[in-house]
Structure 1
Amino acid sequence: MVGFKTIASHCLLALSIALAACNVHASETAAPSVAIHFSFDRPVDASMAPFFLAAKDGRFAAEHLNVSFTSAAGSPEALARVAAGDSDLALVDINALIRFRDKADTPPLKAVFVLFNSAPYAIVARKSRGIHLLSDLDGKTVGVADRDLSIRLWPALARQNGINVSHVKFFGMSAAVREPVLSAGQVDAVAGFSYLSAVNLRDRGVPADDLAVLRYADYGCEAYGFVVVANPAFAAARPDALKGFVRALIAGINATAKEPARAADEAASHIDDGDRDLELARLRTVLVDNILTDEVRRNGLGGIDPARLERSIDQIAEDFKFRKKPVAGDIFDGRFLPPVESRLIN
């Protein structure tokens, strides 16, 4: 019996040594992590939750990626960082990318993943000021923040809906006072993002039933919204890392859709004095209106309809003189997307 125990002990010891050797070998041969510097084009809000949830759940680590996040002061700055190689990837407004690419001697930056299938552009108005529909803006005053992107597509939207642009007055202001000015009644409406301005106004005490959220997408605007853009040198040198980033982000979006409360908590933890309930309200709006659209449910996350993108470029052209108007292939590169079946919403 003693001899049996001795033999068993030796066998277990040998097995443990063999397993340890396997673990050492696996750690030595595991792919090293690729560092990715990622820039958001604005301060953190709940719409970034899929990125943070992908990080928290180990999705980037599973793809052997070490992702660090920073914020820029707008899409032009984020695009400049990517163009200079200071950031490998960035989240930017695709409509800013389209304009950026038209500059002389600009690197051929392209979007590789669409987060917002529908742009969040909206006019947020007070019904108590007589505004229920877009046509009701005739004769009204709309507050517009500095560097507001939504107003750049206003000429096309007004033409499509038979609105005389000269009959709508625009009042310039800083973004910090946009909602306070509307809630105080100093303007009739403001231009901005639906998931930001509308939720902020409700948080300031403006009754939800007094708000008219006039989403551009509901009035014929075909613009896509926020996209992940890649530095061309990084995309060429690290295609597998970029594909892994996209896979991890898709997993983050699916997790966000399934557990919005947990996702909002994670986003709020990255915001100074972040309000979990406020961010959850934003996130629910973003998921329904901008990320999980009917088009995405049909065709999967991350891609584009080339014809739609080119129609949206035509709409930009009503307020922007292109040196050479781009086509969809100049703006979007779908080579890093997984197959459609991997991009469908679970």
Structure 2
Amino acid sequence: MLLSSCQTPTPEATAPEALPGTTAASSPTAPNELRTIKVNPSWLLQGDNAPITLASEKGYFAEEGLNVVIERGYGSAKTITDVAAGTVEIGFGDMYSMIEFNAKNPNDPVVAVAVPYNRSPFAIATLSTNGIADPKALQGKKLGAPAGDAPRKLWPVFAEQVGIPADSVEWITMEPKLRETFLVKGDVDAVSGFSTSILPALAKAGKQESDLTMFYYNDFGLDLYGNAIVVKKSFLEQNPDVVRGFLRAYFRGMQDVIKDPAAGLASVMKAGDSLMEEVSEKQRLKIALERLWVTPETEANGLGGIDPARFEQTIKQVAGVFEVTPPPIGEVFDDSYLPPASERGLPPAGDRQPLN
């Protein structure tokens, strides 16, 4: 899921609600000629959503005739169902969960049109003091995660990749907000989740990254893509220019954030509510910049696309867990709505400011 940010939806989660003051273009005074579209970022508005807020602040969406309203999400897998139901027009969701959804709902499919998160934030985290220096040392340990956590669902594939039996660990289930507390208190030996959720939460608990050992799925043979921009197939067919315009504006915003992440962070903090903490959102944005967006693949090929061979391999790896037949890539990802590659390139390294 998106499975994004970052937590699995709780059972009581219902339809998304609009975030107050989310974007400059979502104001009630937006010009009548703009087409309003609702966008689900997969969770609450967070630091790694800066491309949306900065693109809105700079008027990029308005230039495309769009008034973007951000609706909070309840997890990257729930985003898929919200997009399919028409609750939102565009979502940031997990393509692998989307494959499972489409297999169960063939008459109402969702399709990915861009992949801004070139790497997945899926990870297993443990405290360095636990002495688990290698994933194989997880055998016999207690792992914690919410029941629907996407990395937990893919644990059997990760375990196979690192060479241990999937049933060699004991899973402890808790509410998303208690995951890191369980780890710090020693109720579990490690937790699974999105690094963009785990690391800021552990920082609040007084743990530095040097206090942690992180096993990213991408580093151990499960080279997953992160959240994709997904739309309902029928909406895509009926509104191709809306989708193209959104993607043009979004990737302009993303390029601007990569060049000036401080401006991106400021736009998120301005758009968010009073409960947002700048330290946490800054850390999320740094993780996105350093690990999820800027990669050798995006340096070579630009933002938003995929490597077909890599994607096909990951589809095959996860299909067995979801008990579905691996679909053709073309049924999952349609790159024909993306801006030309020449317009999606990463800014030159010399033009990128650090986020200090």
Does the 8 Å contact 1:83/1:106 carry over to 2? Answer: no
| Structure 2: segments with no counterpart, 5+ residues | 1-30, 348-356
Matches within 5 A, 1:59-98: 59-98=60-99
Alpha-carbon distance in 2 for matches of 1:335, 1:32: 26
The residue aligned with 2:25 is none
The residue aligned with 2:183 is 182
Matches within 5 A, 1:31-70: 32-70=33-71
Does the 8 Å contact 1:92/1:227 carry over to 2? Answer: yes
Cα deviation 1:44-71 (Å, max 9, x = unaligned): 2212111111111111011111111102
Q: 1:319 aligns with which of 321, 324, 327?
A: 321
The residue aligned with 2:303 is 301
Matches within 5 A, 1:1-346: 32-269=33-270, 270-322=272-324, 324-346=325-347
Secondary structure of 1:338's counterpart equals coil
Greater helix fraction, Structure 1 or Structure 2 = 1
Does the 8 Å contact 1:40/1:69 carry over to 2? Answer: yes
Alpha-carbon distance in 1 for matches of 2:80, 2:208: 37
After TM superposition, the structure 1 stretch with the greater mean CA deviation from structure 2, 258-267 or 190-199, is: 258-267
| Structure 1: segments with no counterpart, 5+ residues | 1-29
Secondary structure of 2:225's counterpart equals coil
Does the 8 Å contact 2:84/2:232 carry over to 1? Answer: yes
Alpha-carbon distance in 1 for matches of 2:70, 2:121: 23
Give the CA deviation at 1:31. Answer: 11
Secondary structure of 1:319's counterpart equals helix
Cα deviation 1:180-206 (Å, max 9, x = unaligned): 111112111110011220222122102
Cα deviation 1:88-146 (Å, max 9, x = unaligned): 11111112111111114442310001121111100011110111221221221111123
Give the CA deviation at 1:42. Answer: 1.5
Give the CA deviation at 1:80. Answer: 2.3
Does the 8 Å contact 1:31/1:64 carry over to 2? Answer: no
Give the CA deviation at 1:72. Answer: 2.7
Alpha-carbon distance in 1 for matches of 2:41, 2:144: 25
Does the 8 Å contact 1:141/1:168 carry over to 2? Answer: yes
**RMSD (CA atoms):** 1.8
Alpha-carbon distance in 2 for matches of 1:105, 1:228: 19
Alpha-carbon distance in 1 for matches of 2:155, 2:259: 35
The residue aligned with 1:21 is none
Alpha-carbon distance in 2 for matches of 1:242, 1:107: 18
Give the counterpart letter for 2:139 in structure 1.
D
C-alpha distance 104-281 of structure 1, shift in aligned 2 (>3 A) = closer
Give the CA deviation at 1:236. Answer: 1.8
Does the 8 Å contact 1:155/1:318 carry over to 2? Answer: no
The residue aligned with 1:23 is none
C-alpha distance 76-277 of structure 1, shift in aligned 2 (>3 A) = closer
Cα deviation 1:187-240 (Å, max 9, x = unaligned): 111100112202221221024322001111111112111111112233222212
After TM superposition, the structure 1 stretch with the greater mean CA deviation from structure 2, 294-303 or 227-236, is: 227-236
C-alpha distance 293-339 of structure 1, shift in aligned 2 (>3 A) = same
Does the 8 Å contact 1:44/1:267 carry over to 2? Answer: yes
**% identity of equivalent residues:** 34
